[in-house]
């Protein structure tokens, strides 16, 4: 399963890369804002750091604008994937951009119907949001299972399901169990995935016993 780091912080992306956990990077306007740096600067820098896709989201609403911005963003680096919200104009834009060979990521997906339309438009990746569905008392993971099952009925679909709005290790493991192609993970979740209280306790005990061994 692919791990896309959900961050625009260079240090976090480098740390994930050293662990072999940066198959790609996803950003959105909120993540770029948090970085305190400019959109183009950040995307160019991240794209040079990793080999995999870097999802970059222009903020515009008409299909024509999305297409224009998408072409521009895609020209910044070969591994940029233009991230576009699932709207009617977004679908039109993805159809054009993917027809030109530009990688696209459809985001803010909350239903199997939206996932199917994104695949039909030729999106390279889709990002269904599990955490935000859980927040409103719907099961985010049920959505992932439905999309994976739906796509598996049509071997011609090569759109990858990259689970987004991941809030903790359970979302990662359940995405893997459901057969998702990947997850977008905040760096804090990567750290949580590595840790287990019994591992910490075991290390502490070994260390204390080691110090008691006679030289
Ligand atoms: O990849 C999308 C993600 O950044 C959204 O996460 O926690 O704001 O729902 P969240």
State residue 215's pLDDT score. Answer: 81
Contacts of 195 (CB under 8 A, 6+ apart): none
Query: Each residue of 69-92: pLDDT tens digit?
Result: 999 999 999 999 999 999 999 999
Backbone angles phi, psi at 179, to 5 degrees: 90, 25
Is 0.85 topped by the overall pTM?
yes
Confidence category of residue 212, pLDDT binned at 50, 70, 90: very high
Q: What is the 18 CA–ligand 1 centroid distance (Å)? A: 23
Is the beta carbon of 85 within 6 A of some atom in ligand 1?
no
Confidence category of residue 172, pLDDT binned at 50, 70, 90: very high
Q: What is the 26 CA–ligand 1 centroid distance (Å)? A: 10
Is the beta carbon of 6 within 6 A of some atom in ligand 1?
yes
Average pLDDT, the chain: 97
Is the beta carbon of 164 within 6 A of some atom in ligand 1?
yes
Question: Which contacts qualify for 36-39: CB closer than 8 Å, 24 or more apart?
Answer: 37/8
pLDDT at residue 169 is higher than 90 = yes
pLDDT at residue 11 is higher than 90 = yes
- On whether the CB atoms of residues 115 and 126 are closer than 8 A, the answer is yes
DSSP category for residue 129: B
Which residue's CA is the nearest one to ligand 1's atom 6?
165
Query: Each residue of 119-153: pLDDT tens digit?
Result: 999 999 999 999 999 999 999 999 999 999 999 99
CA distances from 69 to 17, 22, 48, 62, 198 (A): 28, 26, 20, 11, 49
């Amino acid at each position: 399963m692919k791990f896309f780091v959900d961050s625009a912080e260079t240090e976090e992306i480098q740390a994930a890369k050293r662990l072999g956990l940066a198959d790609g990077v996803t950003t959105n306007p909120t993540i770029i804002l948090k970085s305190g740096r400019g959109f183009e600067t950040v995307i160019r820098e991240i794209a040079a750091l990793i080999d995999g896709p870097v999802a970059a989201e222009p903020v515009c609403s008409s299909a024509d604008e999305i297409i224009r911005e998408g072409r521009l963003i895609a020209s910044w680096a070969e591994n940029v994937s233009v991230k576009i919200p699932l709207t009617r104009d977004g679908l039109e834009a993805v159809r054009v951009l993917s027809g030109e060979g530009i990688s696209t990521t459809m985001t803010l997906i909350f239903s199997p119907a939206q996932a199917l339309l994104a695949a039909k438009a030729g999106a390279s990746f889709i990002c269904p949001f599990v955490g935000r569905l859980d927040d409103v008392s719907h099961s985010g993971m049920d959505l992932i299972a439905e999309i994976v099952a739906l796509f598996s009925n049509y071997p011609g679909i090569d759109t990858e399901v990259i689970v987004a709005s991941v809030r903790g290790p359970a979302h990662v493991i359940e995405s893997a169990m459901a057969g998702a192609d990947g997850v977008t993970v905040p760096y804090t979740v990567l750290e949580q995935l590595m840790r287990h209280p019994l591992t910490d306790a075991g290390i502490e005990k070994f260390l204390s016993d080691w110090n008691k061994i006679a030289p």
